[in-house]
């Protein structure tokens, strides 16, 4: 980690603006290795120096990785002028500037959603070349049959002529199915079921690759994870 100015470091690791941080530093609200520092241009080493601001430790994290159980009715977006977004639900103690959802879930779809400020990681997760599987539980307005399962395995053609990749469709209950896809077109699952004459009443994402929605994580709640945990589960990196 390259050395950097104290005010920039604190602002990057919190939700505070640079101007607010600078004022706080001038007032003696920051310490470096236990010593009060009032110089906004103080150069620190985030890898070795111990930084506090207003009594709280400011530990260095290059990026933040969050797993959320997305609730219904919330936008998969970073910001919106009038509607609540998934980033709005992130607790303040792990919230950072530039957080954004990895891909998207429709407004009325619930379940596993990743949020991060690591653009390279996000790109790898959603890149069509990676063909990462995404598993959903769909409650339908009718039951599935073997012909539908076969059609999904072959790759259905949407109403606009778009050919989908082969998908796995499994009946797990009356009018309830699990569907696994490796792409993420707009409203894809609803459109796929539409090709076989079924409507989707409820949709929940349960897994991305080998990463599953944790038991006990309620809708609207989230947990922080490490990049290593996610890369092992999603990108199959064990190095």
- Give the model's confidence band at 239: pLDDT under 50 very low, under 70 low, under 90 confident, else very high: very low
Tell me how far apart the alpha carbons of residues 178 and 69 are, in angstroms, rounded to a whole number.
18
Question: pLDDT tens digits, residue range 226-237?
Answer: 999 999 999 876
Q: Confirm whether 77 is domain-assigned.
A: yes
Same domain, 178 and 137: yes
pLDDT at residue 59 greater than cutoff 90 = no
Whether 7 is catalytic is: no
Cβ pair 25, 37 in contact under 8 A = yes
CATH for 101: 3.30.70.580
Torsion angle of C-alpha atoms 24, 29, 30, 36, degrees rounded to 10:
130
Indicate the number of domains in the chain: 3
Length of the chain: 239
- Structural domain span for residue 109: 65-128+211-234
- Across residues 83-102, what is the average pLDDT? 92
Report residue 201 as tokens: 């009443």
pTM for this predicted structure: 0.85
Same domain, 117 and 182: no
Pick the closest to residue 158 from 193, 130, 111, 129 (CA basis).
193
Q: Confirm whether 239 is domain-assigned.
A: no
pLDDT at residue 48 greater than cutoff 70 = yes
Q: Confirm whether 93 is domain-assigned.
A: yes
Catalytic residue among 106, 117, 141, 143: 106
Q: Confirm whether 11 is domain-assigned.
A: yes
- Give the model's confidence band at 150: pLDDT under 50 very low, under 70 low, under 90 confident, else very high: very high
- Across residues 49-56, what is the average pLDDT? 91
- Across residues 182-198, what is the average pLDDT? 95
Q: Confirm whether 99 is domain-assigned.
A: yes
Helix axes 6-13, 18-26, angle to 10 degrees: 130
Same domain, 71 and 108: yes
- Across residues 194-209, what is the average pLDDT? 97
The pLDDT of residue 1 is: 54
The pLDDT of residue 201 is: 97
The pLDDT of residue 238 is: 56
Tell me how far apart the alpha carbons of residues 183 and 86 are, in angstroms, rounded to a whole number.
21
Give percent of the chain above pLDDT 90: 81
Same domain, 156 and 141: yes
Same domain, 113 and 217: yes
Tell me how far apart the alpha carbons of residues 115 and 25 are, in angstroms, rounded to a whole number.
30
CATH for 23: 3.10.290.10
Q: Confirm whether 217 is domain-assigned.
A: yes
Cβ pair 185, 162 in contact under 8 A = yes
Cβ pair 101, 112 in contact under 8 A = no
- Across residues 108-130, what is the average pLDDT? 95
Cβ pair 117, 63 in contact under 8 A = yes
Largest CA distance in the chain: 71
Same domain, 11 and 47: yes
The pLDDT of residue 2 is: 73
Same domain, 163 and 200: yes
| Cβ contacts of 187 within 8 Å, gap of 6 or more | 106
Same domain, 115 and 16: no
Same domain, 91 and 24: no
The pLDDT of residue 46 is: 84
Tell me how far apart the alpha carbons of residues 98 and 118 are, in angstroms, rounded to a whole number.
9
């Amino acid at each position: 980690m390259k050395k950097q100015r104290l005010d920039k470091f604190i602002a990057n690791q919190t939700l505070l603006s640079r101007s607010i941080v600078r004022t706080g530093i001038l007032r003696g609200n920051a310490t470096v290795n236990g010593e009060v520092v009032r110089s906004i241009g103080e150069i620190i080493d985030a890898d070795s120096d111990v930084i506090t601001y207003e009594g709280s430790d400011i530990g260095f994290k290059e990026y933040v990785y969050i797993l959320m159980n997305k609730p219904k009715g919330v936008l998969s977006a970073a910001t919106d002028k009038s509607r609540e977004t998934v980033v709005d639900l992130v607790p303040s103690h792990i919230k950072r500037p530039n957080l954004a959802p990895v891909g998207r879930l429709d407004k009325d779809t619930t379940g596993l959603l990743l949020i991060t400020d690591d653009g390279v990681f996000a790109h790898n997760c959603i890149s069509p070349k990676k063909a990462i599987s995404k598993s959903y539980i769909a409650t339908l307005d009718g039951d599935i049959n073997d012909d539908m399962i076969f059609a999904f395995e072959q790759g259905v053609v949407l109403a606009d002529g778009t050919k989908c990749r082969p998908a796995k469709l499994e009946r797990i209950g009356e009018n309830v199915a699990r569907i696994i896809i490796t792409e993420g077109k707009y409203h894809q699952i609803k459109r796929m079921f539409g090709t076989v004459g079924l409507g989707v009443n409820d949709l929940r994402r349960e897994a991305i690759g080998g990463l599953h929605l944790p038991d006990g994580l309620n809708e609207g709640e989230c947990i922080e994870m490490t990049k290593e945990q996610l890369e092992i589960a999603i990108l199959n990196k064990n190095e």
